[in-house]
């Protein structure tokens, strides 16, 4: 099964949280309420340098995805 690059997540145990799941490498879940990121991958020291460079872009993409989805609901 193929998944989209980003998914919205919701959980009633966290009523104010806004979760975006990034399904491609490096997989992560970000809570846009507080920008906390949980990485779903194990990284080596070599990976960490590349990740630092890529993480900012991926997090910005996750935020843009959320904004786009909310705008579509409001149409």
Give the pLDDT confidence of 4-26 residue by residue, as tens digits.
999 999 999 999 999 999 999 99
DSSP state, 26? S
Burial 30-45 (b: 16+ CB within 10 A, else e): bbbeeeeeeeeeeeee
Q: Could you tell me the residue ranges of all domains in the chain?
A: 6-74
Provide the 3-class DSSP secondary structure of residue 8. strand
**What Cα–Cα distance (Å) separates residue 25 from each residue in 31, 34, 47, 54, 55?**
18, 22, 12, 11, 11
Condensed to tens digits (0 to 9), the pLDDT of residues 14-59 reads: 999 999 999 999 999 999 999 999 999 998 888 888 888 889 999 9
Q: Dihedral (C-alpha) 26, 4, 2, 52: value to the nearest 10 degrees?
A: -10
């Amino acid at each position: 099964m193929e998944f989209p690059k980003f998914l919205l997540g919701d959980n009633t145990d966290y009523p104010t949280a806004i979760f975006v799941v990034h399904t491609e490498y490096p997989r992560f879940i970000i809570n846009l309420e507080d920008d906390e990121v949980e990485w779903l991958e194990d990284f080596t020291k070599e990976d960490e340098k590349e990740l630092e460079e890529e993480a900012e872009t991926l997090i910005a993409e996750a935020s843009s995805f959320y904004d786009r989805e909310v705008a579509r609901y409001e149409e």
